A and B are shown apart, each in its own frame.
Chain A
Amino acid sequence: MARPVRFNVHPIKADINENVSIVDMPEGYSGEGFFTTKLSNVVGLARKNSLWPMPFATSCCGIEFMATMASHYDLARFGAERLGFSPRQCDLLMVMGTIAKKMGPIVKQVYLQMAEPRWVMAVGACASSGGIFDTYSVLQGIDQVVPVDVYVPGCPPRPEAILDGFIRIQDLVGKESVRRRNSDEYKNLLQSYGIQ
């Protein structure tokens, strides 16, 4: 029952002019010497291509993150060149690895130290839902303590999956309304987590 292995039988010839990726202009109305668009589009475009992630690496997913950051998979091409280790300077909290109950308050503390706008990515099965560790000492997912924007499943997720999660965060960042953080829905969400 062998299935033939499929290779990329139509390789694309490398061409420098097509390989350079240029960010698309947001929709708007332009004329001689001016361009109008929504503020959220411009702000979102700037933000999403310059996110400063905070790696909160606890276990095995942390090693896959190191591989993502290294030159083979390279997170820097997406604008996340500068990894901050202080939450006060970061936009995106990437929680990678199992969070034990002992560590839960610390994740909360780190999240509280981040300034708005902030996003959270739960990388790996353990951060999403506790993973294979359905035990007395493991927090069954960081969404028990902080609101999460993107979940990346996998044990550990391949670097490509982590990059996919990052791209989805970029989508969220790019399309976010400037009024979101002051809206009632967001405030209720934070209230349910006990965050003022």
Chain B
Amino acid sequence: MSVDQHIKLPEGSIEKTTTTLNLGPTHPATHGVFQNILELDGERIVSAEQTVGYIHRAFEKLAERRPLYQITTLTDRLNYCSSPINNMGWHITCEKLLGVKTPKRVDYLRVIIMELSRISDHLICNSVVGVDSGAFTGFLYVMQYRELIYEIYEEVCGSRLTTNMGRIGGFERNFTNAAFEKLEKFLAEYPGVLREFENMFTRNRIFMERTIGAGPISAERALNYGFTGPNLRAAGVDYDVRVHTPYSSYEDFQFEIPVGSTGDCYDRFLVRNGEMWQSLKIIEDAYRKVKEFKGTDADVFHADAPAYYLPEKKDVYTKMEALIWHFKIVMGETEIPPGEVYQSVEGGNGEVGYYLISDGGRTPYRLHFRRPCFIYYQAYSELTKGSMLSDAIITMSSLNLIAGEMDA
């Protein structure tokens, strides 16, 4: 029997001069599940076709079924490396819709948590870029400090990763002394660690040769592709939502925006490192400001909005009215005004936007998440055209693609 009776070759495959390589959904270098089908001419990439949706969990349809508080748990799972930023962004969106104004102390505490999550997100991305270029030590070394950040989250909300942190109007409990002690320990130890991490990579010949010139993008193309966040800043555009549309009292903080020039992997790595230094500065600033609140001011951890802020647990377990209010608020039975609001926050990957349309019912009529990963992954084929296979891998990891955020 001849070969063509067994094997059916695709049309035109004998004449084709390029190789098709499936960088499949399961691959050690794709951190998350998305697929790339590459056409290779030897080692050079001729074209790349992306497939996403391998973890599509229908968040937007789920959100139409859930009252506002129950949606916080969904936002955790968007960019799960920095869940508190998504949680707080969602609460800020709800506060905008409901007209709740948060006191300054709450804003500063939120800033501390959001900047800690930003550090945690950039740590994963940068250490994984290191792992993909062969340097495993950085990852192990730096994960220790992520554990410390997780311990701070546990002091505040009880959970490590999918934090479901905070309430509409503030936090569920005041930060304990233990939380502040851990924060002080972090602020004392982490700069040395970050410096050592930078020393390992920034002027390392091998790392530089691997990443400089890999996956560059110009500022105009980046803007046209809808890039935001560190990827856009590495291309040279200093757009940062915290500065342009400040939320949660970010206007009270002075910090710089690190900006790159060529938009390649090396610039992205450096921009993320620079942002971690700036985040440390913001956390120290915010912590100092929080310590300035004395006496009864220091007990403020939520806004005065009894219609939307869940009552404290000690009241819920002992008083009937508090129990009823808790039930009503969680089930969405308090008054939600109709309206449409778009609020964005600066997440680890860029502008995370929440477009909420409420029709006055218990649950949103429509909630759309503007997910930065989904939008900038489109540019991947342009970023890798003409580069080598190894550049494609390192570009993918330096873009910090989080599959949960991409597919939502």
Q: Using a CB–CB distance below 8 Å, which chain A residues touch chain B?
A: 1, 56, 58-60, 62-64, 66-67, 70-72, 85, 97-98, 100, 102-103, 106, 110, 132-133, 135-138, 155-156, 158
Contacts and interface: CB of A to CB of B under 8 A. Distances in A.
A110 B56 contact: no
Contacts of A66: 124, 143
B161 interface: yes
Given A66-B143, A132-B73, A98 B27 contact: no
A98 B57 contact: yes
21 contacts: A59-B403, A60-B80, A60-B161, A63-B81, A63-B124, A63-B161, A67-B146, A71-B140, A72-B147, A85-B26, A85-B27, A85-B28, A100-B56, A102-B54, A110-B26, A135-B61, A135-B62, A137-B57, A137-B58, A138-B58, A158-B160
Contact of A58 (B55, B143, B162): B55
A194 B245 CA distance: 55
A46 to B, nearest CB: 26
A60 B144 CA distance: 18
B77 interface: yes
Interface string B43-72: 000000000011111100110000000000
Contact of A59 (B27, B55, B150): B55
Interface of B: 24-28, 31-33, 53-58, 61-62, 73-74, 76-77, 80-81, 124, 139-140, 143-144, 146-147, 150, 160-162, 314, 317, 403-404, 407
A103 B80 contact: no
Contacts, number: 90
Contacts of A100: 53-57, 407
A158 B73 CA distance: 17
A134 to B, nearest CB: 9
A67 B404 contact: no
B54 A64 contact: no
Contacts of A71: 140, 143-144
Nearest to B160: A158
A64 B33 contact: no
Contacts of B140: 70-71
Contacts of B55: 58-59, 97-98, 100, 103
B119 to A, nearest CB: 15
Contacts of A135: 57-58, 61-62
Contacts of B25: 103, 106
A90 B154 CA distance: 35
Contacts of A64: 160-161
Contacts of B28: 85
B143 A70 contact: yes
B144 A103 contact: no
A156 B162 contact: yes
Contacts of B76: 60
A154 to B, nearest CB: 10
A70 B32 contact: no
Contacts of B62: 133, 135
Contacts of B54: 58, 100, 102-103, 106
A71 B53 CA distance: 32
Contacts of A1: 314, 317
A133 B404 contact: no
Contacts of A63: 80-81, 124, 161
Contacts of A58: 32-33, 54-55, 403
Contacts of A59: 32, 55, 77, 80, 403-404
A138 to B, nearest CB: 6
A156 B161 contact: yes
A56 B33 CA distance: 9
A133 to B, nearest CB: 5
A110 B53 CA distance: 18
A106 B26 CA distance: 8
Nearest to B83: A60
A64 B147 CA distance: 10
Given A1-B317, A58-B403, A137 B162 contact: no
Given A133-B58, A135-B57, A135-B58, A60 B26 contact: no
